[in-house]
Amino acid sequence: MDWGRAKNVLIYAFLLLNLVLGYQLWMDLREQADANPDLTSLAENTQRVMEDKNIKVTAQIPTETPELQKINYRFLDEDTQKETTLPQPVYSKLIFSPKELVSELSASIPGIANYQYDPVESREGTFVLHPLVEDGWPLFRVNLELHYSDQRITSYRQQSIEINSLGEEKRQRVLSASKALGNLVDNYLPEGSVVKSIELGYYGEMFNSDAQVAAPAWRFTLESGEIYYVQGISGDVISPGTDKSKS
């Protein structure tokens, strides 16, 4: 038996094992860091309230504060509840590949390239997407619903709209997510709340008229399923299940 060669094989095996273990440790630490958002952007008193009320934040707190303006929009189809069957079912797994999804559905669903998938509002049997404002910010509560069964998208329901900016409306820098979250923690969130998602988009009350108005807003989703919106300019809070804002 060639002990020298066997010794080299063992050395290489141990080196390979160390590399694998080192990589696994690095991945574990990375996942742990991703799962523990940085809360230092919150005020000290807010952090104390979180501790007292056992409130946790598992979502990363966004740092962007873009300059945005209010928009107005109108529905193009009065029958917003009409369901349309696709001429050819599409595998539902494509929802997780936006380019493939657009390629497969662009001929059947007008403007789908300007929609964004929303995992918060999606549910069993229905994928929910929102139209994007200025190619980047979802317009919450205006939906494109893709209905699926047996892993195939079979039909859709679309609230077709036309978006316009308010000509004289000035752009304003939106409230930071940390300040909006601090307001919720200090004044609105019940004990034991877990904030699992934070996203900037547009939100507006629905009026029984052709013209609708929406403003930038932070959406905070709790693990319980409750959703709070914080208006990005005024800081007003929309309570869950209502359209009534509170300052």
Mean pLDDT of the chain: 82
What SS3 state is found at 4? helix
Say if residue 50's pLDDT is above 90: yes
Predicted TM-score of the model (pTM) = 0.79
Q: What is the mean pLDDT of residues 176-195?
A: 95
Q: What is the pLDDT of residues 64-107, one digit of tens each?
A: 999 999 998 988 876 667 899 999 898 877 666 777 888 889 88
Confidence of residue 29 (pLDDT cuts 50, 70, 90): very low
Say if residue 121's pLDDT is above 50: yes
- Buried residues in 163-184 as b, exposed as e (16+ CB within 10 A): beeeeeeeebebbbbbbbbbbb
CB 155, CB 148: distance < 8 Å: no
Confidence of residue 34 (pLDDT cuts 50, 70, 90): very low
Q: What is the pLDDT of residues 155-174, one digit of tens each?
A: 999 988 888 766 667 889 99
